[in-house]
Every structure is written in structure tokens, then in C-alpha cells.
Chain A
Amino acid sequence: MEQSFDDDEGVRWMLAWKAGDEAAFDRLVERYSPQVYALLTRFLGPRDNREDLVQEVFLRLLRNRDRYEPSARFSTFLYRIVFNLAVNHTQRVIQRAEGSLHGRHGDEDGEQLAELADDRASAPFESLEQDDVVRAVRSAIASLPENQRMALILAKYEELPYAEIAGVLGSSEKAVKSLIHRARETLRERLAPFLKEELA
């Protein structure tokens, strides 16, 4: 039985845009760009070029306009684009950083290295020294594997149900449950000093 998404305004706008209503695309950008920006920032860390990535997400939406079929909620469809783009971006940053470690040291590489350090920081104890809880939490989340990180962010900050997260990650609800459980375990370990302070 085909599921209906008539109550989903994103789906309605997307279908209207597909049918030729250009204003529907404006509504989509206005309504969803803040969410896309927030999700990218939480997943990749706060950097200046996040706005470029937001634009990239909507470019991909543009490219998929004619192929779009409402098989899920619009947010699921959009967040899936965000997730794929963010993972690609991370891989590209790592590759560039590795390339620059093997010889090249331009300004851009310096930026990439800084971003890599921000995105994949895995030493909460450095943050402990700085007594910066926010930074430690951010680092601990950034150190999670990509699918665990996205599952946790969607559950905790976007408050998405597990079934929808499964749609974003292309996995099952059970797998999402397991991903989040493991993510929380890792965070409990990495943030242990802060948890003790919190409990005290």
C-alpha cells in the first residue's frame, strides 16, 4: 500500500515545483535552509563555508527535481542529501589534508587542516584543560563514526523518530537503535570527566 504524504508541506511544495510552480522552490529554500544549515553545522562543526554547503544541498535538490517521487517525508529526503553531501565533504577534507601532509602547504591546505582538526578532534582531554564543556562535547560527537554521529544528531537535536532516521541513513530501525546506543556509550566514556562533574 502506497503511503500518502499529503500532510507534509515539503512534499506538497516539491510536487508543485516539479509541476512548474517556481515559487514553490523559494518556499522550500526559505522553510528548510535553516534546518539544513543547523544539521550541517552540528555534523561537521561550525565553519565559515557551511553556507556553501547549504547551497550545494539545494543544487542537488534542483538536479533531482524531475526524478522526485514522494516515497518518504520531505525532511527524510532532504536530510539524506545532507548526510551524503556531509560524508563526501569529510572524505574530501581528509584526502586534501593527507595530500598536504605529503608535501603541499598552501593557505587552502592550512584551512583544510584546521577544519579536519575541528571536525575530527578526538581528544576531549585537551578541551578538559581548556575547561570548555561545549568544545569537549563537540569534539566527542565529532569523533563518532559518521552514521552514529548522524543518527545521534537526528534523534537528539532534530527529534526525528527512529523510523525516519532509518530512512535518512538507508538502514533499519533496529540498526538505528543500535547506532544510537553505541554512540551514547562512546560519549559516556569520552565525556566521563564532565559527567562526574555533572553528577557531583
Chain B
Amino acid sequence: MNLECAAFRRELQHSLENHAERSGAPLRDLLWHRHLHGCLDCRELLSAEEALEALLSSLPNPKLPPGLAQRVLARLSRPAGAQAELDALLELDRPESARPGLAGRVLAHLAEERALARRNPQPVRDLDVLLELARPVEIPVGLAERVKNRTRASTGTRGVLLRWRWMAAAALLALLLGVYAYYPRNPQPSPMVAMQDQPDPALLENLLLLEEWELLQGGDLEVLLSTLPAEDEYLLDLGAEGATEQGGQPKKG
């Protein structure tokens, strides 16, 4: 597409936009004749637009029903006498502070209702038309946004969380308290320290067996006991028993 094509298409667009200004002469007969002769694309485009215009123009004008305006006016009009009476009544009744145009609005409303009753005798239709005619409601500023936010909050994961937030908070608190209660405050003693606090039961059992079998006698038992921690009450008692059995007094190692 060259510059001439672009210019031609602009001209064509302009021509389509300005029906009223069109002279009636087809575009191909104007100054673009030479360009169109040499440019197949533009020629086809012009032909397509002209064909579409012809098709659109082939639609017949809507047939106007005779006496349309008179019928519309008759339906909308009010009996002259009744209107005058109502005007007079409204005029008498109107306080000084009343908004201007009140009488006009009341009359218009009455005319609407009369027209509705005349046009729509069926109750279902009456309702539909009344709904259709319902005066516009003043919508609060930002209502749509608020409704959207609430809907989002009540339907999504966030909504579920928000709805159960107190339950979730209580459960979390209980969990934290549980963890705190069961968490060991003093560290576990190392195996070596445990050995010192309480003698190995297997070792004690062996010692008792040895004693029973009288393999350990007198000084040997004392020597063995002296190797154990002196502060161990249990072992001291054991040593005392051994010494007693042999007829001696318990000794502190």
C-alpha cells in the first residue's frame, strides 16, 4: 500500500462518514480515477464499500402508520375540563414554598397512569409497564464497589477465614499454650551425668550376685566400693550390708 492508497482510503472513509455532504457522484469518477485504474486493491475495496452501501440502501423505509401522531397525542392527552379543574385545585392547594412545576408533574403522572390503564388492560402487562416506568433510584456513591468487595469476601478463601477468624484465633492460642506446657524447660542430662546420679542397675545386680556367690571377700569388696562415688547413698548402703554380713561395721569410703 503506497501513499496514494492511504490517501485514497482516507478520502473513502471521509466520504462514508459524511453522507450529507456527498455530492452524489461516485468516488471512482472523481480525481481518483487514475489511481483506481492502476490499483487493484483500492478498486476492490471501493467496489465492496459501494456494494455494501447499495445493499444497505435496498432496505425500504419503514411504513409509517397513518395518523400515528394523532393517535399518540390522543393517548397522551387529558380531558380539557378535568385538566382545568385539577389545575385550579392544585393552584389553590399550592403553598408559596412549593417547588415550581409541581402541578405539571402531578398532571404528567396522572396522564401516564391514564395512558397505562388504556394501553395495558392485562394485570401482568400493567406490572411490567409500571416496572419499566419506575422512576430511577438514586444509587449511593461506591455501592457497586462495596457490594463487589463484600461478595468477594464472603465467597473466597478470605471470606471463610474472616467468617471463622475468632475460632481460628482460639485454636491457635490453645496450640501455643499446649506447646509451651509440654516443652521441656531443663535440658536432658548427658549420659555421663546420669551415671553419676544413679548407678547402672546392671552393675549393681552384678555386684549383688558376686557378693552372693562369695567371690568378693572383705578387703576386695571395700576396694571395689572405694572406686565408686562416695556420695552415692545407695552404694554406701549396699557396702554396709556387705560389711554387716561379714560381721563388721559399715564404712564410709
Binding site for B on A (CB under 8 A): 20, 26, 29-30, 33-34, 37-38, 41-42, 46, 51-52, 54-56, 58-59, 62-63, 65-66, 88, 92, 133-134, 137-138, 141, 155-157, 159, 161-162, 177, 180, 184, 187-188, 191, 194-195, 198-199
State in angstroms the CA–CA spacing of A184 and B51 once bound together: 12
- Once A54-B72, A59-B112, A62-B108 are accepted as A-B contacts, the answer to whether A156 and B56 lie under 8 Å apart by CB is yes
A63 near B112 with CB under 8 A, answer yes
Residue numbers in A under 8 Å from B69 (CB-CB): 29-30, 33-34
Q: Could you mark each residue 59-99 of chain B with 1 if its beta carbon is under 8 Å from any beta carbon of chain A, else 0?
A: 11111110011011101100000000000000000000000
User: Does B1 belong to the interface (CB within 8 Å)?
Assistant: no
Total cross-chain contacts (CB, 8 A): 106
- Known A-B contacts A134-B60, A159-B20; the reply to A195 vs B55 at CB < 8 A is yes
**Contact mask B1-41 → A, CB, 8 Å, 1/0?**
00000000000000011111000000000000000000000
Q: Which of B16, B17, B52 contacts A195 (CB under 8 A)?
A: B52
Whether B108 pairs with A65 at a CB distance below 8 angstroms is: yes
Distance between A24 CB and nearest chain B CB, rounded to angstroms: 12
Could you tell me if A41 and B62 are in contact, using CB atoms closer than 8 angstroms? yes
Determine if A59 and B55 form an interchain contact, defined as CB atoms under 8 angstroms apart: no
Chain A residue at minimum C-beta to C-beta distance from B107: A62
Instruction: Count contacts on B: residues with CB < 8 A to the other chain.
Output: 40
Query: Is A59 a contact of B76 with CB atoms below 8 Å?
Result: yes
Closest A residue by C-beta to B62: A41
| Residue of B20, B61, B76 with most partner-chain A CB within 10 A | B76
CA distance A177 to B16 in the complex (A): 11
Find out whether the CB atom of A137 lies under 8 angstroms from the CB atom of B19: no
Q: Report which of A34, A37, A42, A184 forms a contact with B52, defined as CB distance below 8 A.
A: A184
